[in-house]
Structure 1
Amino acid sequence: MAFQEVVYRPVFGRALAVSTVVVCAVGIVALFWGDPAAALRYAWPIVLVAAVAWALFWRPTLRVQQHGITVENVLRTYFLPWPAIRRIETRYSLTLYTSRRKVPVWAAPAPGRHRTLGLARKDFDGVGESARGEFGELRPADAVTTPTGNLAQVIRGHWEQLRETGLLAAGEDPEAETATWHWATITVIGLLVAATAIGLLV
């Protein structure tokens, strides 16, 4: 059976990013319409809010791919090949552990208490054995009816299958696991912070 890539971007986060950017754009237009001179000073904080909203809510993405997992967070993107993965947890967010690092998946935070109320045994049907704790317990965020639990099970299912068929036996290649900083995002936000400070203080 051919591997089917999974790409997850939280709909609520992306909707929040779009709405924030739209509100900021309206605010900037209103500033320039009312007082162009003042807008040159006070528009920067609004642009900063829009940029941060984009980085926080639009960018985070999880890709489950044939040769590994790509986690795009706010300031860094990670590629974790399947042999590098040691543990998969869902305590605070979907989190992947390798021998080198801990990688939280910003796109998949653990569900809130209101979402996990009323979970039943059937919500955990199909959860892999690697999800269970020392005493066989499961966390509410492991429920496959929650986004975090569903994504965790997709990853666990393929990871356990590769392990059982011996395809992870060759071990990990330290050079294959990568972490890349989003320097453009960091630079833009840094410049906007500086412009905001200058506009408000000078």
Structure 2
Amino acid sequence: MSFQEVDYRPLFGRILSVATIVVCAFGAVATVVTDPFAALRFVWPLLLVAWLAWAMYWRPGLVVAEHGITVVNPLRTHFVPWPNITAIDTRYALTLRVVSADDRGRQVRVWAAPASGRHRTLGLSPKDFDGIGDSARGVHGELRPSDATTTPIGNLAQLVRGRWERLRDTGAFASGIDPEASTVVWHRGTIAVAAALGAATAIGLLV
């Protein structure tokens, strides 16, 4: 059976980004219509907020594919092949522990999958942790509240762990680990636009 790729992008983040962009667009149009000269000064903060909303809440995501995981964060996109993953954690966010060329290891946190808040983890029962793989457990066999499969991050973490554990247990990692196969791509365009809008905002408010 072929592997079914998963493209995860949180609905709440997309709703928040759209709502923010719509409010900023309405404010920008109203400013231009009301006072075009003032708009030259005050439209830039609105554009900056809209751009940051897109970068921080619309763009981020996680793609679980056959040969590895792609983590799209606001400033960088990481690709991590399955053999390069050493552990999956959910302490602050869904986090991949990855081997590195210097043997020190590094962490790749998934911006789109933060740890569940207390209101989402209250009242959890042992049944909420059914089916969680052994790799999720700590040294004393403990599990984090965010590991519960009834929470969004726990469900996503179990999807990743399940694939990783199956590959590990079937010997798919026998060919070895290649730290150089992991890649990091900076979103230079996103950073440049944010910097330009930030500069325009500062100039507009100070002049």
Confirm or deny that 1:124 pairs with 2:129: yes
- Per-residue deviation at 1:158? 0.9
Report the counterpart of residue 103 of structure 2 in structure 1.
none
Report the counterpart of residue 60 of structure 2 in structure 1.
60
Alignment of 1:1-202 (within 5 A): 1-100=1-100, 101-202=106-207
- Per-residue deviation at 1:110? 0.5
State whether residues 81 and 182 of structure 2, in contact with CA within 8 Å, keep that contact through their aligned partners in structure 1: yes
1:169 is paired with a residue whose SS is coil
Q: Distance in 2 between matches of 1:185 and 1:16?
A: 19
Q: Distance in 1 between matches of 2:151 and 2:83?
A: 26
State whether residues 99 and 179 of structure 2, in contact with CA within 8 Å, keep that contact through their aligned partners in structure 1: no
Q: Distance in 1 between matches of 2:174 and 2:123?
A: 40
- Specify every segment of 5 or more residues in structure 2 that has no aligned partner in the other structure, as ranges: 101-105
Give the aligned CA root-mean-square deviation in angstroms.
0.7
Q: Which amino acid aligns with 2:13?
A: G
Aligned residue pairs total: 202
- Per-residue deviation at 1:174? 2.5
Q: Distance in 1 between matches of 2:32 and 2:38?
A: 8
TM-score by length of 2: 0.96
- Per-residue deviation at 1:175? 2.5
Q: Runs of 4 or more off by more than 4 Å in structure 1?
A: none
2:180 is paired with a residue whose SS is coil
Deviations 1:98-144 (A, max 9, x none): 11221000110001000001111111010000000011000000001
Q: Which amino acid aligns with 1:24?
A: C
Q: Distance in 2 between matches of 1:9 and 1:185?
A: 18
- Per-residue deviation at 1:87? 0.9
Q: Distance in 2 between matches of 1:67 and 1:98?
A: 15
